[in-house]
Structure 1
Amino acid sequence: MDVFGDFTGRVVGAVEALSAEGILPAGIDTSRVVVEPPRDPSHGDLATNAAMVLARDAKAKPRDIAERLAERLRASGDVVSVDIAGPGFVNLTLSDDYWRAGLDALVRAGGDYGRSGIGKGEPVNVEFVSANPTGPMHVGHCRGAVFGDALAGLLQFAGFDVTREYYINDAGSQIDTLARSAFLRYREALGEDVGAIPEGLYPGDYLVPVGKALSDKYGKGLLEKPEAEWLPLVRDFAIDAMMVMIRDDLAALGIVHDVFYSERSLSKPVDKIAATIDDLRGRGLVYQGRLPPPKGQLPDDWEDREQTLFRSTDFGDDVDRALMKSDGSYTYFASDIAYHRDKYERGFLTMINVLGADHGGYVKRLQAAVKAVSDNKASLDVKLCQLVKLFRGGQPVKMSKRAGEFVTLRDVVDEVGRDVVRFIMLTRKNDAPLDFDFEKVQEQSKDNPVFYVQYAHARAHSVFRNAAEVYPDIAFPMETPGPEGLSALADPFELALIKTLATFPRVVETAALAHEPHRIAFYLYDLASAFHGLWNRGKDLPQLRFINAEDRASTMARLTLVQAVALVISSGLGMLGVEPLEEMR
C-alpha cells in the first residue's frame, strides 16, 4: 500500500502516453515529478507538481499540461475527482474502495509493510557515540547514541546495508590522564591514603574498581616501576576497563555496535596517517605554508610558523588545516583524515557522523577530508546533537556522585527505562535542544508521547483479546477478509485512519533520505492520536465499535484496521529501538 509510489507511477505513465501521442516531447525528463499530500487536506488526497516541472522542457504552459494530465487521470476508476489549483498543481481525490484495497494490501504485507528498496543495499557507515574512553557515558552521549542507533535502524528498514561504528579515541593526552588517575586509585587500593584527587585527574568513583583490579593483577609490582614503564601497562588496562563500562552502558540502551575502531590502530602496526599525508601530498593537496591568525583574541598557544597544511579550502572549508604539531606529532585532524580514508577504502561511499553540538566547527573540515581522500566519490553527513537538559518536576537535576562531574546515561536509563529514554530523545529534531523531565516522561497522559504511542499498541492488543472472547475462532494475527469484506469501513474517521496508515512508506523514505529518525516518532504520535480518536468515537457511537457480537462482518473489517495500526506502530517502534508493548499496567 504505497499510494504515493503507485500514483507517481501513474502520473509518469500519463506523461509517457502524452509523449507517445506527440502532445509532449519524446523522452521528457520525469525525474522531478513528485506525488505528495496536498498542503491543504480539503484539496484532496494527493497532489502532483508534474505540470510545473515539465513546462520548461515541453515549452508549454503548466496549466495546459495539467489539463491534459487531469484528463488522463480522471479515466482511472480509483480516482473520484481531479482538480487543478494555482499555477498547475493537479489534486486527486481517491475512491473509498481504493483506500480499503490498500488496507487489505497492508495487512497482507505484515511486518514488511513500509520497507523500502531505495537503499538498494548501499553500504552506509553510521559512526556514533565515539566517546573518549575516560569514564562512564553521560546524558549528552545518550542523545547521540539513541539518534545514531535509530538512524541506523531507519536506514536498514529503507534498504541500506548499515554498519554501526564506534571510534575509540584511545590516543592523546586524555588517555595518559586516565592512566594516571587509575594509578592513583591503584595506590589507594593498596592501602595508601591518596587524599583529595589532584587537579587535572579524573575524580569519579568509577575508577575505584579499576584500581582494585590493578592491585589484584599486579600486587605492589607497579609501585616499583618508573612511570615510563607502568604508564603503558595501566593505560591499556584502563582503556579496556572503560570500554567494558561503555559497552555495558550502551547495552542498557539496547545498542550494539558492529565495529569498534581504535584510533591507535591508525599508527600501529602500519602508520596509516603518514600514508594518507603522503598520498595527499602526491596529489598536491598538502603543502608547507603559514596560516593567518584566528579571528578575535589569539589563543596562548598560537604561533606564526611554517607548517604542514591540508588544502581544505579546495573542498569547501573556510581555511586550510594543520596536519603536524610543532613537536612533530600529528594533529587530531590528521588522524581524522586517515580514519575517514580507511572508511572509504572499506567500501563506504556514504558516511554519517553523529557528533555533539560542540563539534560544529569540525563539520566543514571533515567533509572536506572525505571529499579529498575519495576524490569526490564519497560523501559525509555530520549530524549534530544538541544538549539535553535534565529536570525533575521543573527543577534542574543535580550531578551524579558516581561520575563526579555529570549525570550518567545509566542514571537516566535505570530510573525511567530504556524505552522512555529512546523515544523521548527522538521527540525533537537532533539539532534542537531537548528538555527531559524525569516526572513528565513517566506520566500516563497524551502529553507524554512515549506513553501515548505504546498505549495505542497495547490498546490494539486489548481489542484482540476481547474479540477472541466473543469470536473464539479468530486467531491473531488474523487474515484480512479482502477488500470486499472491508466495506463496513465507511466512517470518515475510519477512512482518515487508513489514509494515515497509507503515508507510512513515504514517511520512511523521506526520513531515511533526510537522515531524520525523529520523523518516525512524530508520525507514530499522529497515528496513535488518530487511533485513540477512533476508539473514543466508538464510545459515543456504538455502531462504530471495533467488536460487535451481532455483526461478524463489521467486526472482521474493524479488527483488520486495528491490526494494521498495531503492525505499523510495531514496525515504527522497532526502527527506533523501542519495544511495542502488548499490555500496560
Structure 2
Amino acid sequence: MNLFSDIHALVLDRLERLVAEGELPAGLDFSNVAVEPPRDPAHGDMATNAAMVLAKPAGRKPREIAAALAERLGDDPRIASAEVAGPGFLNLRLAPSVWAEVVAAAIARGNDFGRSEMGRGVRVNVEYVSANPTGPLHVGHTRGAVFGDALASLLDFSGHEVTREYYINDGGAQVDVLARSAYERYREACGLEPEIAEGLYPGDYLVPVGQALKEKYGESLLDRPESEWLEEVRAFATERMMEMIRADLAALGVRMDVYFSERSLYGSGRIEAAIARLEEKGLIYRGVLEPPKGKMPEDWEPREQLLFRSTAFGDDVDRPIQKSDGSWTYFAPDIAYHLDKIERGFDALIDVWGADHGGYVKRMKAAVAALSDGKVPLDIKLIQLVRLFKGGAPYKMSKRAGNFVTLRDVVDQVGPDVTRFVMLTRKNDAPLDFDFDKVLEQSRDNPVFYVQYAHARVRSVMRKAEALGIDVNGAPALEDEAEFAVARKIAEWPRLVEIAARGHEPHRIAFYLYDLASAFHALWNRGNDRPELRFVQEDDAAASAAKIPLARAVGVVISTGLGILGVTPVEEMR
C-alpha cells in the first residue's frame, strides 16, 4: 500500500473527469501533478499542485481549477475535506479510517511494506570502495563502503536487479611500491634491517606479509635482483592485501558480488578494443593539449598525445588516453572497464568515489556516454571527508596503518551497526563529523540510539503483551492526534523509499527513521500522562489489542529501514 500513490491516482482520475465534463481542455499534460505532504502539517494530510501546474495550459485561473477538483474529490470516502489555499494549492484531509488501514497494511506486508517495483528489473551496477590494494581500508573508505552498500540495498528493495562490485586498482605503479614495501618486510623477517625509504608504505600491516613471504620462499629472494622477484612479490602482496580488505568489509557487513581486477585488462586487448570503439566514432585523435591553468608545472612541455574528444560530451577539455611514450594513462583502463560493464548488459551504472576524484567525473561520464551512445547513464557519487573526534579533540592516527585511521579502528571501537548508521546521517557530498563519544551516548542527540531505542520499546510492548496473553492481532484503533501523527509518518514510508531510490540517496532512510522514532517516542511519553494512550493496559485487554497494532507497525518500518541500511535492530536496550 502506497497511500500517496493511491491519492495521486485519485487526483489524476478526477482531473480526467473534469476533462470529460468539459471543465478542462483535452490534451493536458498531467506529468507534473504531484501529491505530497504539506510543509505545515496544520494545513492537512496531503497537498496537490494540480491547479497551479495546469492553470496556464488550461487557460483557467488556478483557484477555479482547484475548486472544481475539490468538488470532484469530495465523493471519495477517503477524502474528509479538500480546501483551496493560497493562489491555488489544494490541501486534503483524509478520513480517520484511512490511517488505520495504513497501520494494518504495514503489519500485513511486514518487511515487504514499502517494497516496490519501481526498478522493474532494471540491471544496475553499483561500484564502491575500489581502494588501491596497498593497505587496510581507512575511515574515508568506510563511509564510501556504507553508502554504496546501503544504496545497493535500497535499489534492490525498490525492484532493481543490483550487482555490488569492487574494482581492484592493481594495474598502476602503486602496486609496485607495495611489492617493494613488502620485500623490505620480507628482509626483516629474514633477520635483516628493513630499509623503508621515502615513498614506501611504512605501516606495520605489511609485517605479516613479509613473514608469509619468508615462509613461502625461505631466503631465496634475498640474492635475486628486483627484476626477478618484483612480479611474484607484487602478486603475493596484492592478494594478501585483498584478503585483508575483504575481511575488513565483512566486519562492516559488506560483501561484494564481483571483484574486478584492473590488471586483468592489460595484455588482454580490451583496452585497445575500447579505444578502437571510440576511434570508430571519430572521438580519438592526436593533438597537443593547452597548458594547465594556474601555476605552470616545472616539467610541463607541449607534446603530442592520443586524446579522447570528451568535450563533445560536456567535458571542459579533451583528455589524454596514451602518453607520448606509448604507455596508457590511468584513464584508458578505466574506459575499458566501463565498456566491460556496458557489455555485461547493465542498464545503469553507479560509481561511488572519494571527493578527491571530483576532477575525474566529467571525463568518465563522457566516456560512458560515448561508449553506450547515451543509452547507459552513469551516476557518480562523491563521498566527502570524515572528521574523527574523541574526547572533544581530533582522533589520533593509527600506528598500524602508518598514517591514517582504519576501518577496523572504527568498527572495533563502536561496532558495525553504529558505524553504518552514523555514516548515513549526512548526505554523501557533505563532510561528516564522527565523534566516538557522542555516537555511543544514550540520548536523543544520538540518532543511532534514538532509533534503536524506539525499536527496543516496540519489542518490550510485544513481550509484555505476550506475557499477559493479550491478542496482538486486533484491528488498530486511532483516537489521539499523537497516534495519527505516527500513522501519517508510517504512510510516508513507501513514498520515501521511491524518492530515495530515484535520487540515489540512502541517507534519506536514516533521516526518516529518526523522524518516525521521534513521533513514536512523543506518543510513548504522552502515555505517561494519559494512561489510556499506553500500548499495554493491564486492566483492559481490549484497549491494548486496539493500541498495540500501531506499535507493531512502527517496529515493522524501523526494522525494514534499518535492514536497508545494514543495521541490526536491537531487541532491548542495556
Range of TM-score over shorter length = over 0.9
Cα distance in 1 for partners of 2:56, 2:368 equals 36
Report the equivalent of 1:335.
Answer: 333
What residue identity is the alignment partner of 1:201?
A: L
What does the per-residue CA deviation read over 1:210-235, in whole Å, with 9 as the maximum and x for residues that have no partner?
A: 01111111112222322112100000
Cα distance in 1 for partners of 2:542, 2:79 equals 27
Report the equivalent of 1:311.
Answer: 309
What residue identity is the alignment partner of 2:524?
A: W
Instruction: After TM superposition, list the pairs within 5 Å mapping 1:232-251 onto structure 2.
Output: 232-251=231-250
Instruction: After TM superposition, list the pairs within 5 Å mapping 1:70-469 onto structure 2.
Output: 70-194=70-194, 197-268=196-267, 270-469=268-467
Cα distance in 2 for partners of 1:193, 1:293 equals 45
Please give the secondary structure, in 2, of the residue aligned with 1:222. coil
What residue identity is the alignment partner of 2:433?
A: D
Q: How many residue pairs are counted as aligned between the two chains? A: 574
- TM superposition score normalised by structure 1: 0.96
What does the per-residue CA deviation read over 1:314-363, in whole Å, with 9 as the maximum and x for residues that have no partner?
A: 00100000011122111111111111111111112311111111111111
What residue identity is the alignment partner of 2:359?
A: G
1:365 CA displacement: 1.0
Cα distance in 2 for partners of 1:368, 1:66 equals 44
Report the equivalent of 1:545.
Answer: 534
Structure 2: state its 5+ residue gaps: none
Cα distance in 1 for partners of 2:398, 2:41 equals 49
What does the per-residue CA deviation read over 1:467-495, in whole Å, with 9 as the maximum and x for residues that have no partner?
A: 122226x4xxx43x23xxx33x2001001
Cα distance in 2 for partners of 1:124, 1:70 equals 41
State whether residues 106 and 557 of structure 2, in contact with CA within 8 Å, keep that contact through their aligned partners in structure 1: no
Report the equivalent of 2:8.
Answer: 8
Please give the secondary structure, in 2, of the residue aligned with 1:322. strand
What residue identity is the alignment partner of 2:105?
A: A
Cα distance in 1 for partners of 2:540, 2:79 equals 30
Cα distance in 1 for partners of 2:162, 2:55 equals 39
Structure 1: state its 5+ residue gaps: none
State whether residues 132 and 168 of structure 2, in contact with CA within 8 Å, keep that contact through their aligned partners in structure 1: yes
State whether residues 393 and 440 of structure 1, in contact with CA within 8 Å, keep that contact through their aligned partners in structure 2: no
Instruction: After TM superposition, list the pairs within 5 Å mapping 1:451-490 onto structure 2.
Output: 451-471=449-469, 474=471, 478-479=472-473, 481-482=474-475, 486-487=476-477, 489-490=478-479
1:109 CA displacement: 1.1
State whether residues 355 and 385 of structure 1, in contact with CA within 8 Å, keep that contact through their aligned partners in structure 2: yes
Cα distance in 1 for partners of 2:64, 2:515 equals 37
1:570 CA displacement: 0.2
Residue 497 of structure 2 corresponds to residue 508 of structure 1: yes
Cα distance in 2 for partners of 1:347, 1:29 equals 33
What does the per-residue CA deviation read over 1:8-40, in whole Å, with 9 as the maximum and x for residues that have no partner?
A: 110111111122223323343222211101122
1:266 CA displacement: 1.5
What does the per-residue CA deviation read over 1:180-236, in whole Å, with 9 as the maximum and x for residues that have no partner?
A: 111111111111122x52111100011111011111111122223221121000000
Q: What is the Cα-based RMSD across aligned positions, in Å?
A: 1.2
Deviates more, 1:26-35 or 1:351-360: 26-35
Name the % identity: 64
Deviates more, 1:547-556 or 1:197-206: 547-556
What residue identity is the alignment partner of 1:291?
A: L
What does the per-residue CA deviation read over 1:123-178, in whole Å, with 9 as the maximum and x for residues that have no partner?
A: 11111000000000011111111111011111111111111110000011101000
Report the equivalent of 2:525.
Answer: 536
State whether residues 136 and 403 of structure 1, in contact with CA within 8 Å, keep that contact through their aligned partners in structure 2: yes
Cα distance in 1 for partners of 2:317, 2:211 equals 48
What residue identity is the alignment partner of 2:100?
A: R
What does the per-residue CA deviation read over 1:25-59, in whole Å, with 9 as the maximum and x for residues that have no partner?
A: 33432222111011221111111111222234323
What residue identity is the alignment partner of 1:582?
A: E
What does the per-residue CA deviation read over 1:260-318, in whole Å, with 9 as the maximum and x for residues that have no partner?
A: 111011123x2211111111111101111111111101223422111111010100100
Report the equivalent of 1:499.
Answer: 488
- TM superposition score normalised by structure 2: 0.98
Instruction: After TM superposition, list the pairs within 5 Å mapping 1:16-35 onto structure 2.
Output: 16-35=16-35
Cα distance in 2 for partners of 1:301, 1:342 equals 35
Cα distance in 2 for partners of 1:127, 1:303 equals 36
Residue 571 of structure 2 corresponds to residue 582 of structure 1: yes
Report the equivalent of 1:573.
Answer: 562
What does the per-residue CA deviation read over 1:483-513, in whole Å, with 9 as the maximum and x for residues that have no partner?
A: xxx33x2001001110011101111110111
Please give the secondary structure, in 2, of the residue aligned with 1:224. coil
Cα distance in 1 for partners of 2:63, 2:132 equals 59
State whether residues 123 and 162 of structure 2, in contact with CA within 8 Å, keep that contact through their aligned partners in structure 1: yes
What residue identity is the alignment partner of 1:580?
A: P
Cα distance in 2 for partners of 1:580, 1:300 equals 57
What does the per-residue CA deviation read over 1:91-114, in whole Å, with 9 as the maximum and x for residues that have no partner?
A: 101111111122112211111101
What residue identity is the alignment partner of 1:560?
A: P
What residue identity is the alignment partner of 1:547?
A: V
> Which of structure 1's runs of 4+ aligned residues deviate more than 6 A?
none
State whether residues 133 and 243 of structure 1, in contact with CA within 8 Å, keep that contact through their aligned partners in structure 2: yes
Cα distance in 1 for partners of 2:231, 2:136 equals 21
Cα distance in 1 for partners of 2:531, 2:243 equals 57
What residue identity is the alignment partner of 2:46?
A: L
State whether residues 304 and 324 of structure 2, in contact with CA within 8 Å, keep that contact through their aligned partners in structure 1: no
Cα distance in 2 for partners of 1:12, 1:225 equals 77
What residue identity is the alignment partner of 1:263?
A: E
1:550 CA displacement: 2.8
Deviates more, 1:6-15 or 1:341-350: 341-350
